[in-house]
Structure 1
C-alpha cells in the first residue's frame, strides 16, 4: 500500500509511553503458518509477510529473492502493541486489495489469494478504494464463473487421468506381448532340445547296430578259419556285450528326464533411472494449465529442493515435508507427478510421522542440483507459455 509522504510533525502521533508493551508487527497468522509449514523459519516468514506478501506465492518469491541478504536473520524491531510496522507515521486504513497488473479490487486477502492462484498473478497492493458490493445479477454471474472454473478443472483432471489410463493399458499390453514372446521363445528352445536329444539317441543306436554287425562278421570269419570254432570265450568287446554296459553308455550319451520343463520366468518390470523419472514427472506437471497450478507446483518443488541442498545438512527439518500440510496437498500432492518427483530424488514416505524424508546417507546432491535446474527451467518455460 502506498504511504502518504506529506506528513508534518503536527500530524505525527505522540511518542509511545515508556511502559507501553512492545510486540512484533501484526501479520496474517494463517498465512504465516502456511509459509512456516513449507520449511521456512518463522523469522524469515514474518519478514516476507511484512514486506507486503499477500499469499504463499508472493512470500516464496520474496524469500527466494532475499535468502542471501546479510540481515535476513536479524531480529525484527518490535512496535507498540496495537500499531503496525508503519505506525511511526499516520496509518491509513486499507479498505481493499488491488491487483497491480489489472487494477481489479478485492475485499480481503482471501479473495486476492484465490484470484492469484487462479490467474498466476502475484503483484498486489493495499488501497483505500472501496470495492462496491455485487448486485444480485453480479452475484449470479460470479457463481456461474466459479462453477465453470470448477467444471474446467474437473474436465482437465479427468482428461489427464484418461491419458494416463491409456498409457497404463498400452504398457500392460506391451508387457503381455513381451510375456507371450518370452514363453514362445522358451517353448521353441525346449522343442529344439528335444529334437536334438532324439537325434543323438538315433545316432547312438545306429552306431551300436553297426558295431554288432561288425562283431558278427568277425566271428563268422574266425569260425570259418578254425573249422567252426572260436579261439576263446567272448569278452566284453565281443558281439554280445553287456546290456547293462550298453545301457549305461546310452544313458551317458543321451540323458533323459521325466521332470517337466521349467516354467518361463515372468517379465521383469523395467524401472526408469531417477533422471528419467524426474523428466517424466515434470512433463506431467506442465500439463496443468488451469489457474497456473502447474507453475505453482514446479516453483514449490524448487523451494523444497533448494532448502534440502543449502540447509539440509545443518538442519534436518529442511529434509522433511509433512504430507498432511494443506499447502503441500493443494500445490504438490494434488497434482499427478508431484510426489513422484520427490521420490525420484530420494525422498521416502514415513508412514509413522506422515511425512516425506530425505536421509543424509541417501542424499544424492548431484541429482538434487540437476533436478533443481530442470525445475527452474521448466517453470520459466511454463510462465513464458502462460503469458
Structure 2
C-alpha cells in the first residue's frame, strides 16, 4: 500500500505532506522521517462540521517561536463547544503522499520558491480572500479586528453575519484567529450575500450575547452545585469524625470511672477485712475509765441511732449530773437521783447505757433499788471531769458513735 503520511522517527508525529515535515523539522530539529501507511486522523464534528486531527502544529501564544504539541483536537473542540460526537473520515481523506519538495531551489540564487498546483515551478501569489464588505464593516462595528472578521467570513462561507459571529465564538481561542487569512490568487470566492439591516444586526448580536450569557450562567450554576455537594460531603465527614471522637472519649471516661470504682471497692474490701481481722485477733476491751465511758456512750448512741434528739438530750443530762457533783460535792441532793423519777426515765433511765454511765462516774444503786447515790467519800473529781470531757466530745462531734 502506498504511503499516505510521513512519520517522524524521533517523536512519532504523523504529517500529511512534505511541507508539514519541513515545518516540523524547523520547529523540533527532528530529521528522521519515513513513509507510513497510517493515515492522519480526520474526525469531523457531527454538530458543526469542524475537522479535527489527533496531532497538529499549533502556535504558542506566550512565546515568539512555534512548538510541536501533541494535542487531541477533538477533546479541545468538545471542551470549547460542548459538541461530543465526531464522524471518522480518515479513510475518505487519506491520499497517497507526494514526496516531491513543495519548495524547490531556484537555480539562480539557491533560494526556495513556491510551486503552483500544476507543478510548473512558478511561484503562486497569495492574497487576502474576498469577503462581503458590508458584513465586514458590520463585524468591525461590533469591535472585531479586521483580520478576525475577514477570517470568520471566509471560514464560515461568507454567508451571513450570524454564521460569522458563531464561527468567532467557536474559534475565539484559536492561536491564529487574529492573523489575516491568505488564499491563492486564482481561487474563486463565493459571491457576497445581502447583509442584514441595522436593526437585524443589533437583534442578532443581542441574541448571541444573551445565548453566551445564559451558557455562562448555566456553567456557573453547575459549578456552584458541585461546590455545594462537595461542601456538604466534607461537612458530613467532619461531623461523623467528630461523633466518632466523642463516642470514643465517652467510652474512655466510662471505662476510667468503672476502673476507679473497682479500685475503690477493692480498697474498701481490704480495709473491711483488715478490721475484721483486727477484731478477731484483738478484742476490744477498755482498760481505762475514760475508755469505758467512751464505749458506754458509743453503745448508747448505736442502740438508739434513730433517736438523735433523745440521745443528745441524754448526753446533756448526764453532763449536768456530773457537773453538779463537781461544783457541789458536799450537797447530797446533787449526789442522789430517784430512779422512778419520770423526767429521769425519759432523759436517761429509759435509754440503754444511761444508768451504766452514771455508775462509771461513781453512782451506786441503793439497797432498796429506789435511788442512785454517790457517797461523799467516793466523790472522785478526776473521774467526773473525765466523764465531762467524754460527754462534751460526744455532744460536739457529729460523727461520734458512727465510726
Scaled by the length of structure 1, the TM-score of the pair is 0.30
Scaled by the length of structure 2, the TM-score of the pair is 0.29
Bigger Cα Rg: 2
